[in-house]
A and B are shown apart, each in its own frame.
Chain A
Amino acid sequence: MGALGRGFGTLVSVLIFPFAMRAAEAPPSYEEHIKPILREHCLKCHGEDEQKADLNLSTFVTLSKGGSGGAAVIPGRPSTSLMFKAITAEDDSERMPPKKPPIPAAQISLIKAWIEAGTLERSGGKSLVSARDTQFKPVAMKRAEGPAPTPEHWPLITQPVPVNQPPVIALAASPVAPIYAAAALNAVRIVSFTDGETLGVLPFPEGQPNVIRFSQDGSVLLVAGGEPVKYGMAVLYDVRSGKRLTSVGDESDAVLAADLSPNQKVVALGGSGKNVKLISTESGKTLFKLGKHTDWITAVAFSPDGTKLATGDRAGGLHLWETASGQILLTLAEHKGAIRSLAWRADGRLLASAGDDGLLIRWDATDGWPVSNNANAHQPKRPAGYYGKLPAGILDAAFSPSGELLTVGRDKFAKQWNAEGRELRATPCEGLPLHCAFSNDGSSFVVGDAAGEVHLQKSALP
């Protein structure tokens, strides 16, 4: 299939995806499906005769107007729609209708489908979810002159002997050369994609390397971490020489999330302190302290052009900031658990977020619209007779250079997703896969696991 075909696929999926589950039947409409439910449960207090909270749900027009609390529904977004939140509240005292049992589950799912499909007024009506084109626009990679940076003549170092093989707590691949960097005990090793040979080891005597990132041009490696509840920082290394360039940040706990801006002038980092700091690599000064998160910072990522920064926390909070001003641009509310990974598509249009709640979401970075949302992306199969929660979180997500996604999760699978958000292939992993990364050409990928192994796989992508 050529680029045209792919593009068509994207367009179609954007239009139908929100109600893909109900694709076989027509989407529900206000007049036909929703009004009877509202009449049964809501219109006594929010109808023609009485409008509690200035809300009248008895006609599509007045419903669309909303009430004193704001819009009642946001087409396409049940989870952020006031009405949907009210009828699904866990707390008896907050739930609508008051002092009554909840609306039956079947009716609730109908309302959900109606909002997701774009709040149609009558069947065959117009969806209020606007069609959008988030098709991947390949961008020419700016390449530095000469060969891509790889380790050259690195010094020999002696590593501490680990008691047990350390888990691969961080992993990154160079965007320009066939090499990747993986966490070791107080060190980072650089390995070739081509033959699996270790090309060099960088000492990180500061402690645990919790984060590894290559700069966009592949010439600088950022390693961030430290010792838990003692100190944390980010260190920049020159990939060619292995030389330590600078160290930024002076935290009281190990850094849990960090990234280097494409122009290499700013490091963003965060951890248990709940603030994201933007620190100049030249002066070492803190440029901005971004304080909006309510829990530990677990993921940060600069957009490919460096103008935006995405930050996620352990409670599911996800914000988009303007790098130059430190001002918040958007709050992307959907996650309910720790955000484990934030990844930008190479063209900067889409941001992927994934986390412990099992959600894999692609956001349109221009307006914060969730273009696709794969729930339970890594839900393990339930063994017969087994009850209880199965860990279903996503631990890492990475975009290929051509816009496809790779994720690893607690179900011990690595999954590849095509540009439309459909699962292409699931590969079982031996250990618990912690991190994953595509090679620079997208032809293969590596998965690092909790047992300390890194596995190389051929990619299923074209």
Chain B
Amino acid sequence: MEEEVKIAKVQRIEGVRGRRLGFLTFWVMLVLAVINFAPTVCPAAALVNGATPEKTDRETPSFRRDVMPVFFRAGCNQGGCHGAARGKDGFMLSLFGYDAPGDYFRLTQEFVGRRVNIAAPEQSLVLLKATGTVPHTGGEVFTVNSPHYQTLLSWIRAGAKDDSASVPEPISIALEPKSIVFDGERKPVSTKVIAKYSDGSERDVTTLALFSSNNPAAAKVDESGAVTPKGRGDTSVFARFNRFTIGAEVIVLPEGKEFVWPNPVPQNAIDQAVYRRLEQLRILPSVACDDATFVRRIFLDLTGSLPTRSEAEGFLADPAPEKRSKLIDQLLSSQGFTDMWTNLWAEWVRIKGGGYAPSATDVKAADAYYEWIREQIASNRPWNEFVADQITASGSNLTHGPSNLFTMLVHDVKVTPKSLASDFSQLFTGVRIQCAECHNHPFDRWTMNDYYGWVSFFTGIRRKQGVEPREFYVFNDLAAPVARHLVDDRPMPATVLGGEHPVPTGGDPRKALADWLTAGENPLFARNFVNRFWAQLMGRGIVEPVDDMRVSNPPTNGPLLDALAKRFVESGFNLRALLKDILESNTYQASAASNPSNAEDTRQFSRAQLRRLRAEVLLDAIVKATDGERGFSYFPKGTSAVQQYPRSPGDTTRLTAGDSFFETFGRTARQSVCACDTKTESTLSQTLHLVAGDTVLNQIRAGRVLERGLGQKVAPEALLEDLFLRTLSRKPTAVENTQLAAIVSSAEGKPELVYQDIFWSLLNSSEFIFNH
């Protein structure tokens, strides 16, 4: 039989009084110890009632509600500290606190009595370390007198208990005030963070939140939430608490400058939104650009190609007042537009073709996809349908172009649902959801639940061999198991981002995904694409980078982005209608020249930004301006750089951009969906390539423009004008004309060399290399 005997709890022992001297020391020590412990007899409530903002009316702090926020605010669970994947110095906390049960376990049960010591709470290692009482790599993170210390201490005194029932969770946070304008006054403004909980309660969590500023040059925010202006400009300050991030707009106006808003007349809603913002910031927009600038700019933006001499001349000579609108319409329906925008989409979805393609990315498949895209762009297919067709595509990669979304985004023998999930999110919503794979997104609203529910849309994507080696069938295996949550291995059925419930089962979940994504009510989709289109035309997204939309990276002009998205949805996702609106606006047609108030503006679209031409556009421009030709391996003669894409006789997995010119000028090798892969920064090697490389001179020689001109005995002025119109789409100024004519006439014997130098200089000028 079993018998259980309970032994008396530890208590004072009546024993034999010590007779040995040695024990006297202990006696004294232990009595002292008793005195030391005396405060612990006080009821915990006495300390809790210390009316600090983070305290609640309940007596004992809750682990989830009160203790975990302290680790967050004090930085203990940051990635560089105990929040690292393997913890720090032997102790791990979940990053930003995504795993409360795990944190409780490691704190109280991994080494019982060490990190948390309920018998002698002040001796808990977690407190000794945090206060720097014992050596701590992270130093002192709070003091004994801080409310954070008291929260932890009260919790340990009460037995360091786990939360028994479910604890109210924060469901949202608010930052007050929502916007701050510093006009003259330079005194700090304090902010307050209020959290709303699932039981309907609210609490001031300012002392538990973390603050940051997007642009500390404009305004700084300290750890108490006080915002201090630093210099003219705008920024957002952010508060983070639990899994939420929220921002408040801060505007710092210039000091003591007289400002009169000249009331420019807006062309449309776009100008209205831009002007409202500029007036608020006391920035004057630049004047409209001249016709020569306009014709060159719009040709490059819409068709990726320079206007020909006759196109430029024709436009400049046209006396019609509506000639800009006419040109916009003409270009939007041109072949060049289809080429350029097909190129953009092909770049985003990473189209590459190989001659050996175990990953289903054969040249034939790439061509099928290209052709399909070209047809959609040419027929101005509504953007929502265009995208939905690709997302839901199944079938042969050779005969059904859009199914190649699931071969080109992969470029691997193996389809990885997680990378498809993050690519889809980045591409179609601008959200980088992959952060939520291992922890809730630290700077946005996405949780691990969102992530794994999203991954489940892609766990069934399969490709099986078709009738010939190059052919693969893309299909979605509906019997495939769904993704499982990293923390607790729970199956996570397919759920849209931010969705509360999984999509209905039965049928291909990609259909539900496409319906949700492309619905007019879904702000993620329309905002993502109008921002990408805007960036192509303006050189900078309203959200930048365009594929990193998150709460903590807000648009520089929110109402503008909303107005564009609204317009896009209302037009039935009509790409050309949206672009036409943008192109018609004063904002698009503004000059790049600055005025004193907007010289420093790069974010508010008060003037045109100088942009280096994209690699393929620059190469085409050089070829076109020189009447030259430039072939590409594996493509037929006459293919332009914009029409061309990376091809290889081998596998496409690690295929590069393929042409040294592209590599030098930063054309993406389509290795990832990141917008950052396309580079338009200028580098020294680019300059050297143009100055001393073979591209410019070879094209000048191949095109024989000068030989033909000289052969026909064209007058020097006419030849110079021809060169200017070819390269810069404008006629030379009087000064340029006089000076260059002087140089030409002083050349003895070999005028073609002088002309060649002039041509070369024009092709090397910033005015040529940049869109302005």
Binding site for B on A (CB under 8 A): 99, 101, 153-167, 169, 184-186, 189, 191, 196, 198, 200-201, 203, 205, 207-208, 210, 227-230, 243-244, 254, 256, 272, 295-296, 314, 387-389, 391, 410, 427, 432, 434, 450, 452-458
When distances are taken between beta carbons in the complex, the residues of chain A under 8 Å from B31 are 158
Name the residue in A155, A185, A391 with the highest tally of chain B Cβ atoms < 10 Å from its Cβ.
A155
Fill in one digit per residue for B133-171: 1 if any A CB lies within 8 Å of its CB, else 0.
Answer: 011100000000000000000000101000000000000
| Cα-based distance from A403 to B645 in the complex (angstroms) | 74
Known contacts A165-B10, A198-B8, A391-B109; decide if A158 and B15 are in contact (CB<8 Å). Answer: no
Fill in one digit per residue for B38-49: 1 if any A CB lies within 8 Å of its CB, else 0.
Answer: 001100000000
| Cα-based distance from A419 to B93 in the complex (angstroms) | 40
The answer to whether B125 has its CB under 8 Å from any CB of chain A is yes
Known contacts A387-B488, A434-B112, A458-B3; decide if A166 and B10 are in contact (CB<8 Å). Answer: yes
Specify the chain A residue showing the minimal Cβ separation from B1. Answer: A458
When distances are taken between beta carbons in the complex, the residues of chain A under 8 Å from B117 are 166, 208
Name the residue in A163, A191, A450 with the highest tally of chain B Cβ atoms < 10 Å from its Cβ.
A163
A255 nearest CB across to chain B (Å): 12
A188 nearest CB across to chain B (Å): 10
Q: Is the CB of A163 within 8 A of B157?
A: yes
B137 nearest CB across to chain A (Å): 11
Q: Point out the residue from B5, B22, B113 that lies within 8 Å of A166, measured CB to CB.
A: B113
| Cα-based distance from A163 to B118 in the complex (angstroms) | 7
| Cα-based distance from A296 to B90 in the complex (angstroms) | 8
Q: Is the CB of A185 within 8 A of B125?
A: no
A19 nearest CB across to chain B (Å): 29
B150 nearest CB across to chain A (Å): 15
When distances are taken between beta carbons in the complex, the residues of chain B under 8 Å from A154 are 15-16
Known: A160-B34, A228-B134; 11 extra A-B contacts, CB below 8 A, are: A101-B414, A156-B16, A163-B118, A196-B6, A205-B33, A227-B123, A229-B129, A295-B90, A387-B490, A388-B490, A456-B3
| Cα-based distance from A70 to B22 in the complex (angstroms) | 61
Q: Is the CB of A453 within 8 A of B26?
A: no
B504 nearest CB across to chain A (Å): 22
Specify the chain A residue showing the minimal Cβ separation from B9. Answer: A165
| Cα-based distance from A424 to B247 in the complex (angstroms) | 62
| Cα-based distance from A157 to B128 in the complex (angstroms) | 28
Q: Is the CB of A456 within 8 A of B128?
A: no
Q: Point out the residue from A161, A388, A453 that lies within 8 Å of B7, measured CB to CB.
A: A453
Fill in one digit per residue for B5-23: 1 if any A CB lies within 8 Å of its CB, else 0.
Answer: 1111110111111111011
Q: Is the CB of A228 within 8 A of B128?
A: yes
Using C-beta atoms within 8 Å of the partner chain, give the interface range for chain B.
35 or more
When distances are taken between beta carbons in the complex, the residues of chain A under 8 Å from B742 are none
When distances are taken between beta carbons in the complex, the residues of chain B under 8 Å from A200 are 13, 15
Closest 7 CB pairs of A and B: A155-B18, A388-B488, A166-B119, A387-B490, A229-B134, A162-B119, A164-B118
Specify the chain A residue showing the minimal Cβ separation from B26. Answer: A203
When distances are taken between beta carbons in the complex, the residues of chain B under 8 Å from A295 are 90
Known contacts A164-B118, A296-B90; decide if A155 and B23 are in contact (CB<8 Å). Answer: yes
| Cα-based distance from A169 to B624 in the complex (angstroms) | 82
When distances are taken between beta carbons in the complex, the residues of chain A under 8 Å from B128 are 228-229
A200 nearest CB across to chain B (Å): 6
The answer to whether B658 has its CB under 8 Å from any CB of chain A is no
B125 nearest CB across to chain A (Å): 4
When distances are taken between beta carbons in the complex, the residues of chain B under 8 Å from A155 are 15-20, 23
| Cα-based distance from A44 to B484 in the complex (angstroms) | 35
| Cα-based distance from A60 to B129 in the complex (angstroms) | 58
Specify the chain A residue showing the minimal Cβ separation from B12. Answer: A159
Q: Is the CB of A229 within 8 A of B488?
A: no
The answer to whether B413 has its CB under 8 Å from any CB of chain A is yes
The answer to whether B57 has its CB under 8 Å from any CB of chain A is no
The answer to whether B120 has its CB under 8 Å from any CB of chain A is yes
Show 18 A/B contacts (Cβ-Cβ < 8 Å), sorted by A: A156-B16, A160-B36, A162-B120, A166-B117, A185-B119, A186-B33, A196-B8, A203-B26, A208-B123, A229-B129, A229-B135, A243-B20, A256-B111, A272-B90, A387-B491, A388-B101, A455-B4, A456-B4
Q: Is the CB of B490 within 8 A of A158?
A: no
Name the residue in A164, A256, A389, A456 with the highest tally of chain B Cβ atoms < 10 Å from its Cβ.
A164
When distances are taken between beta carbons in the complex, the residues of chain B under 8 Å from A165 are 9-10, 119
Q: Is the CB of A450 within 8 A of B112?
A: yes
A225 nearest CB across to chain B (Å): 9
Q: Is the CB of A157 within 8 A of B120?
A: no
The answer to whether B485 has its CB under 8 Å from any CB of chain A is yes
Q: Is the CB of B159 within 8 A of A164?
A: yes
| Cα-based distance from A445 to B607 in the complex (angstroms) | 84
B274 nearest CB across to chain A (Å): 49
Q: Is the CB of B15 within 8 A of A157?
A: yes
| Cα-based distance from A30 to B17 in the complex (angstroms) | 74
| Cα-based distance from A165 to B120 in the complex (angstroms) | 9
Q: Is the CB of B101 within 8 A of A201?
A: no
Q: Point out the residue from B13, B19, B123, B485 that lies within 8 Å of A201, measured CB to CB.
A: B13
| Cα-based distance from A76 to B408 in the complex (angstroms) | 46
When distances are taken between beta carbons in the complex, the residues of chain A under 8 Å from B114 are 208, 228, 254
When distances are taken between beta carbons in the complex, the residues of chain A under 8 Å from B185 are none
B307 nearest CB across to chain A (Å): 50
The answer to whether B676 has its CB under 8 Å from any CB of chain A is no
| Cα-based distance from A450 to B111 in the complex (angstroms) | 11
B111 nearest CB across to chain A (Å): 8
B433 nearest CB across to chain A (Å): 22
The answer to whether B105 has its CB under 8 Å from any CB of chain A is yes
The answer to whether B635 has its CB under 8 Å from any CB of chain A is no
Q: Is the CB of A162 within 8 A of B17?
A: no
Q: Is the CB of A167 within 8 A of B112?
A: yes
Q: Is the CB of A156 within 8 A of B37?
A: no
Known contacts A208-B113, A387-B489; decide if A458 and B2 are in contact (CB<8 Å). Answer: yes
The answer to whether B121 has its CB under 8 Å from any CB of chain A is yes
| Cα-based distance from A184 to B134 in the complex (angstroms) | 23
| Cα-based distance from A454 to B120 in the complex (angstroms) | 20
The answer to whether B217 has its CB under 8 Å from any CB of chain A is no
When distances are taken between beta carbons in the complex, the residues of chain B under 8 Å from A156 are 13-18
Known contacts A160-B37, A198-B13; decide if A230 and B118 are in contact (CB<8 Å). Answer: no
Q: Is the CB of B6 within 8 A of A453?
A: yes
Q: Point out the residue from A166, A189, A256 that lies within 8 Å of B118, measured CB to CB.
A: A166
B153 nearest CB across to chain A (Å): 10
The answer to whether B487 has its CB under 8 Å from any CB of chain A is yes
When distances are taken between beta carbons in the complex, the residues of chain B under 8 Å from A314 are 90
| Cα-based distance from A169 to B40 in the complex (angstroms) | 21
The answer to whether B702 has its CB under 8 Å from any CB of chain A is no
Q: Is the CB of B9 within 8 A of A205?
A: no
B76 nearest CB across to chain A (Å): 16
Q: Is the CB of B485 within 8 A of A387?
A: yes
| Cα-based distance from A198 to B15 in the complex (angstroms) | 10
Q: Is the CB of A158 within 8 A of B30?
A: yes
| Cα-based distance from A272 to B34 in the complex (angstroms) | 29
When distances are taken between beta carbons in the complex, the residues of chain A under 8 Å from B4 are 455-457
Known contacts A155-B23, A391-B109; decide if A160 and B120 are in contact (CB<8 Å). Answer: yes
When distances are taken between beta carbons in the complex, the residues of chain B under 8 Å from A456 are 3-5, 7
A218 nearest CB across to chain B (Å): 20
When distances are taken between beta carbons in the complex, the residues of chain A under 8 Å from B23 are 155, 157
The answer to whether B27 has its CB under 8 Å from any CB of chain A is yes
Interface residues of B in 634-667 (CB under 8 A from A): none
When distances are taken between beta carbons in the complex, the residues of chain B under 8 Å from A166 are 10, 113, 117-120
B540 nearest CB across to chain A (Å): 38
When distances are taken between beta carbons in the complex, the residues of chain A under 8 Å from B33 are 160, 186, 205
Q: Is the CB of B118 within 8 A of A159?
A: no
Specify the chain B residue showing the minimal Cβ separation from A180. Answer: B7
When distances are taken between beta carbons in the complex, the residues of chain B under 8 Å from A229 are 125, 128-129, 134-136
Known contacts A229-B125, A244-B22; decide if A158 and B12 are in contact (CB<8 Å). Answer: yes
Q: Point out the residue from B20, B159, B488 that lies within 8 Å of A389, measured CB to CB.
A: B488
Fill in one digit per residue for B734-746: 1 if any A CB lies within 8 Å of its CB, else 0.
Answer: 0000000000000
B8 nearest CB across to chain A (Å): 7
The answer to whether B29 has its CB under 8 Å from any CB of chain A is yes
